[in-house]
A and B are shown apart, each in its own frame.
Chain A
């Protein structure tokens, strides 16, 4: 299983809502069905970004095909530094149907956020303290082909 990781600058480089727009820009082109799904959950995502859960653990995107994507947000001084270092993905993982997403959430907010996402199948919240193994079509080890994500390995 290969993984692509990205860090997106959040507060104070961007408001929480604009941070989610920057993440959506990374994942799906404007006007695509996937983009509409992402925009529909803007408020939930913005609240999770404001609470900095997305700094503590990544947003995990499992596309229908291709590499998983992990996205973290940078806050404070890290955000200002990260803004100049944002790198687009080679492909838009949410442009094709069939993708799923897991958003990190604190235990105090998780029931509220699950209820808010009830009408949005394929987008869910997980406890921010859980690991980042999320079920999906590429969750099983692949018999051949792998890559090392050095950036992810360097994370504490």
Chain B
């Protein structure tokens, strides 16, 4: 069930999308059998970064990258992207909404990860972003051999939309 309220402020939209995106990432972590403790420890830092860069319009995507630390090199086992569209609603009518069913569907389709897997959260930003305490630079793991599945827009606010996609290893 999609729920929505109406406001007309970009700041409210950025906070709505940022915090609910983080809440949905936590739902994916829990629903996929991963340890939610790590995202809990870093919650304030992650939320501060996402909200800041959404507000400044530097945020391109937020990724949950899941890997198996027992492997060396090609250790990616799964990935979830929330891709930001700053013009999702060209008229920016002010609705704030989220669709929990999009997240639940993704968790059901993807299934669980082995308990040994770990994860990191990556914010893909444009040049010129303001610095946020606690964040460091990194690079994405290779998605070679994986297929990307687009689920749809999970969160919207003002002119903003956050579309969810996930990766699974392609059949050989």
List A residues at the B interface (Cβ < 8 Å): 11-17, 42-44, 46-47, 50-51, 76-77, 80, 108, 112, 115-116
Contacts and interface: CB of A to CB of B under 8 A. Distances in A.
B73 to A, nearest CB: 32
B5 A15 contact: no
Interface bin, chain B = 20 to 34
Contacts of B13: 12
B47 interface: yes
Contacts, number: 65
B107 interface: no
B15 A12 contact: yes
Contact of B47 (A17, A77, A112): A17
B33 to A, nearest CB: 13
A76 B96 contact: yes
B7 A11 contact: no
Contacts of B26: 47, 50
Contact of A116 (B5, B22, B30, B40): B40
Interface of B: 5-7, 11-13, 15-16, 18-20, 22-23, 26, 30, 36-37, 40-44, 47-48, 51, 96, 157
Given A12-B96, A15-B51, A43-B44, A112 B36 contact: yes
Contact of A112 (B11, B15, B37, B96): B37
Nearest to B18: A15
Most chain A C-beta atoms within 10 Å of own C-beta, residue among B5, B19, B26, B41: B19
Contacts of A15: 15, 18-19, 47-48, 51
A77 B15 contact: no
